[in-house]
Structure 1
Amino acid sequence: MSNSKPSFAGRTILSSSISKSFTEEIVKNLETITKSVKPNGKKPYLVGFLANKDPAAESYASWTQKTCEEMGFEYSLIKVPNKDFLEEKIIEANNDDDIDGIMIYFPVFGDAQDQYLKQVIKIEKDVEGLNHTYYQNMYHNVRYLDEAKELKSILPCTPLAIIKILEYLKVYNSLLPLGNRLYGKKAIIINRSEIVGRPLAALMANDGCTVYSVDVNNIQKFTRGEGLKFSKHQVEDLGANTPELLKQLSLESDIVITGVPVQSYKFPTENIKEGAVCINFSFYKNFSDDVKTKASLYVPSTGKVTICMLLRNMVRLIENNYHKKAGSKSIEQ
């Protein structure tokens, strides 16, 4: 039997193209912030801390600096050769009124100490949205930090970037009400990290999607509950991560999202449902070159959109801090 040709060839969509749709909004808001909020018209100032030699972290730092310079933000990268002094450096930045945003390029210690470092950054300067308050709000669909709804809670920037990419690709159904726009969709996420995979599964489930969350040991199902009724997401254990179960759930999924930080890992193309949307947020290429024989849309990386969301978060933090001091109404976004 001869090999049949694929029925279509999918399209590759670059994150650089997607990010352009957010750049204009951020620059416009930046101009408003600089004129109305920042003293003496100073540029918003972001500081990144690098305490490892991870190539993904170094690449992320380089792209952050480049994007900041292009969009009118001030940026400094502080390299900390001895990571045991990182906490002290973060506290110094917390207390520096000239610094508007702080981020850490993870991993640092690669263990629970990294979770602690995320909480060392002041909530008012946490541009990546990793503070426990932001996480709790995200998991419970709380969108503001105050009862007056003037102080906006922010979302972790990489999960938010992937949501924005799905919106750009029209995977979200804009005819449905907010909170329901992924209703009827199924997705599989090959990553359950606390920084990206788990919060992304929760965000998508809260928008109505059935999400299969995969880590090396097991597979979980995230749902929002029955029907269109708005509620907090629910999690169900589906059992061990076996090749058979992974294939079954993958072939049911309209969306495949990968984030495996291993150069050798490739998601099996035969496990992709024909016409699915495939997105990779790993530094490494998690899909083989033949992904487009099955996927209708393929986004090979998310980095530039992630940085846009990070800067978008920083603008919102500056606005929040202005409201706390002035008690004024929200600046137009």
Structure 2
Amino acid sequence: MSAELIDGKAFAAGLRARIAEQVPAFRAAAGRAPGLAVVLVGEDPASAVYVRSKGRMTREAGMESFEHKLPADTPQDDLVALVDRLNADPAVDGILVQLPLPRHIDEQAVLTRISPDKDVDGFHPVNAGRLVTGLEGFVPCTPLGCLMLLEDRLGDLSGLDAVVIGRSNIVGKPMAALLTAKSCTVTLVHSRTRNLPHYLAHADIVVAAVGRPHFVQGDWLKPGATVIDVGINRTDAGLVGDVDFDSAASVAGSITPVPGGVGPMTIAVLLRNTLVAAHRNAGVPLAADI
């Protein structure tokens, strides 16, 4: 392997530490801790594990964690009513409704009910619009975490060619918008793109978020490219990414592993967004950029 590993786990730990350092000052100024409310509907095993991790790391950062676990058959109106109560609760700065939701619930209807000012997941259409137009708002946690890793590795991204594979509202589209804002030349491709390797052959940055195990092959890449693998695919061999790691690592200059790359960044950025929301909601300026 010639590529350097991008250690998202270590970066995320450092980010969480910086967040925790700012919480006491907020407590002193606002008279309370920042508060994150997480709503879990049903008992999806992966979601339950993720929610427990969020709660633990929220408390470790000195924040309040409000966990609401609802049965899988909860009516949509009841879930929306809970979101309304959390919107009105001054102790709650951020609201996260864990996805996926049961099939009888309209996810978009629930997500758009969350106040944009408490939408620390960055999924509300208002925040999506703010991102695209360059206004202040909340950015989805995973793409913002990817951007942090890229800037830590490469510094100024201006002028670099970037290819984002995947067009989801959660990762692909906001990732393309973030890179565009950093003056990259961005190409957004997907699983149906014709001659996809042609685009990757010229990319300085590749962000893979297509949801297919080992989809991106090493011989598609430009030598020395920086590869961010967002994919988390469960296979008989364990967790693997969207990039064929072994072949890609022999070509890329640096690459994120799966697990241990992008995954840890998502929760760390969620805490970062919650801290930012708390300062905005309380009218308290941030002591330092995070």
User: TM-score scaled by structure 2?
Assistant: 0.85
Match of 2:28 among 25, 35, 41: 35
Match of 1:11 among 4, 22, 29: 4
* CA contact 1:63–1:304 (8 Å) conserved in 2: no
Residue in 2 that maps onto 1:286:
242
Q: What residue identity is the alignment partner of 1:252?
A: H
After superposition, residues 94-109 of structure 1 pair within 5 angstroms as: 94-108=87-101
CA distance in 1, matches of 2:264, 2:203: 26
Residues matched between the structures, number: 274
Who wins on radius of gyration, i.e. which is larger?
1
* CA contact 1:256–1:278 (8 Å) conserved in 2: yes
Tell me: CA distance 1:111–1:209, structure 2 relative to 1, closer, same or farther (3 Å): farther
* CA contact 2:214–2:244 (8 Å) conserved in 1: no
* CA contact 2:166–2:189 (8 Å) conserved in 1: yes
Residue in 2 that maps onto 1:172:
155
Q: In the alignment, does 2:220 pair up with 1:260? A: no
Residue in 1 that maps onto 2:185:
210
After superposition, residues 74-89 of structure 1 pair within 5 angstroms as: 74-80=64-70, 81-83=72-74, 84=76, 85-89=78-82
What percent of counterpart residues are identical? 26
Residue in 1 that maps onto 2:166:
191
After superposition, residues 236-315 of structure 1 pair within 5 angstroms as: 241-242=193-194, 245-262=195-212, 264-284=213-233, 285-290=241-246, 291-300=248-257, 301-315=261-275
Tell me: CA distance 1:309–1:34, structure 2 relative to 1, closer, same or farther (3 Å): same
* CA contact 2:141–2:267 (8 Å) conserved in 1: yes
Q: In the alignment, does 2:289 pair up with 1:330? A: no
Q: What residue identity is the alignment partner of 1:133?
A: V
After superposition, residues 124-135 of structure 1 pair within 5 angstroms as: 124-135=117-128
CA distance in 2, matches of 1:110, 1:202: 30
What are the superposed Cα offsets for residues 197-221 of structure 1, whole Å, 9 maximum, x if unpaired? 101101101211122212233xxxx
* CA contact 1:60–1:303 (8 Å) conserved in 2: no
Q: What residue identity is the alignment partner of 1:256?
A: V
Consecutive unaligned residues in structure 1, runs of 5 or more: 1-7, 144-152, 174-181, 218-240, 324-328
Consecutive unaligned residues in structure 2, runs of 5 or more: 234-240
CA distance in 2, matches of 1:109, 1:211: 35
* CA contact 2:190–2:210 (8 Å) conserved in 1: no
Shift of 1:56: 5.1
- Residue range with higher mean Cα deviation, 78-87 or 8-17: 78-87
* CA contact 2:47–2:98 (8 Å) conserved in 1: yes
Q: In the alignment, does 2:20 pair up with 1:23? A: no
